[in-house]
Amino acid sequence: MIPLVKVSFPPANVLMPKIEEVLYSGQVAEGAFVYDFEKKFVEKYGYGQGLAISSGTAALHMALILAGVEDGDEVISTAMTAEPTNTSITQAGGKIVWADVDSASGNISPESIKENITSKTKAIVVVHYAGYPCRMDEIMKIAKEKNIKVIEDCAHALGAKYGKDFVGLQADFAIFSFQAIKHMTTVDGGFLLFKDNTLLEKAKRVRWFGMLKGVPRTEVDLSVQGYKYNMNNVTAQIGLQQLQHNIDQIIERHISNGLFYDQELSKIKGIDFARCDSQGRSSYWIYTLLTDNSKDLEKLLTENGISASKLHKPNYHHSFFKSSFKLLPQLEKFYDRLLHIPCGWWVTNEDRQRIVDVIKKG
């Protein structure tokens, strides 16, 4: 079976001695490796400043806190995502207001964001779903006019670009996830980017129990509600090795396979695929195929040893989100036509050709 997602690490002879070095160094908590990873990550992708975090979900929760979301504030979000995008909003005390998506991409639609803004809207969370960038120019224009903060959930989109920059640079805040099956993994981990550098001290406090590291524990003042959201030296070392060894080739391979499908599937009647605006360049975490016969095609691909699925469930269908439920027509249409197919680094030239041939047969 060709899987839809797969974990990747540098070879054991490269990675294991490096992990061993940290494990027996006597310093395994947040320390030099974490700060080195932070520096290398922001440098590599051209980001200004950022903090390494224990998970993408924790980074989202922090972004919402730093954006000023408090009990009862409205946060506009999308249901077409992994659940942590939205559980972090309720965790911060926010009230979710669902915006509809663009049926061409599955991404939150700027028009629907605009319609859902009220005097209580504190933040907007956008997700570059499956690696395809949202229409950020339009979204940022709307948000700036209304003075509302925007958080980019880039968990699927490491290496995706908007204009000449990588995603994560457009909004006020952005987060990444290094969970097992994302483009890059540190086993578990995350990253928080933010533009306003006056937030740095508060961000560090929120990450570590409300206190500042480096100040003696008998003298430090705990001044804000904080959490245990720091990354540790062991996972940071894995991140450093990932950055150095194979993340570029991995992302390039996802993109190469994605572009191959775009080209080949455009020749097949009844088959379409996700599209971004002219600025967006997907990093194709998973490939988004669109067809009126998604159920039949899913069956056919699975019978041929190719994993294909919708992967997520529109979040508003969960009972936990019952109070904010509303049916969104474009999202339902997108979801009905959606089928994700494998396009990651493990999909070889022969695999991708075979996948296209099976789709053609259907």
| Span 326-355, contacts to ligand PLP by CB under 6 A | none
Q: Which amino acid appears at position 197 of this protein?
A: N
Contact 103, 251 (CB under 8 A): no
Count Cβ atoms below 10 Å from residue 210 Cβ, excluding itself: 17
In the complex with ligand PLP, the residue whose CB is nearer, 100 or 153, is 153
User: Which tokens belong to 22?
Assistant: 């940290």
In the complex with ligand PLP, the residue whose CB is nearer, 183 or 253, is 183
In the complex with ligand PLP, the residue whose CB is nearer, 165 or 188, is 188
Shortest Cβ 312–ligand PLP spacing (Å): 8
Q: Does 179 bind ligand PLP (CB under 6 A)?
A: yes
Shortest Cβ 157–ligand PLP spacing (Å): 9
Q: Does 177 bind ligand PLP (CB under 6 A)?
A: yes
* Number of residues lying near ligand PLP (CB under 6 A): 14
Q: Is 236 exposed, middle or buried (0-12, 13-18, 19+ CB in 10 A)?
A: buried
In the complex with ligand PLP, the residue whose CB is nearer, 106 or 226, is 106
Q: Does 78 bind ligand PLP (CB under 6 A)?
A: no
For ligand PLP, the binding residue among 82, 99, 192, 255 (CB under 6 A) is 82
For ligand PLP, the binding residue among 61, 122, 156, 254 (CB under 6 A) is 156
Shortest Cβ 139–ligand PLP spacing (Å): 16
| Span 110-139, contacts to ligand PLP by CB under 6 A | 127
Phi, psi (degrees; rounded to nearest 5) at 275: -130, 145
Interface map 32-71 toward ligand PLP (x if CB under 6 A): -----------------------xxx--------------
DSSP alpha helices (H): ranges in the chain? 12-23, 32-45, 56-66, 84-91, 110-116, 136-146, 200-207, 233-245, 247-265, 294-303, 329-337, 349-361
| Residue with smallest beta-carbon separation from ligand PLP | 56
Contact 172, 50 (CB under 8 A): no
- The span from the first CA to the last CA of the chain, in angstroms, equals 19
β pairing state of 161-162 and 280-281: antiparallel
In angstroms, the CA 76 to CA 98 distance is 6
In angstroms, the CA 80 to CA 99 distance is 10
| Span 214-273, contacts to ligand PLP by CB under 6 A | none
> In the complex, which residues of this chain contact ligand PLP (CB under 6 A)?
55-57, 81-82, 84-85, 127, 153, 155-156, 177, 179, 190
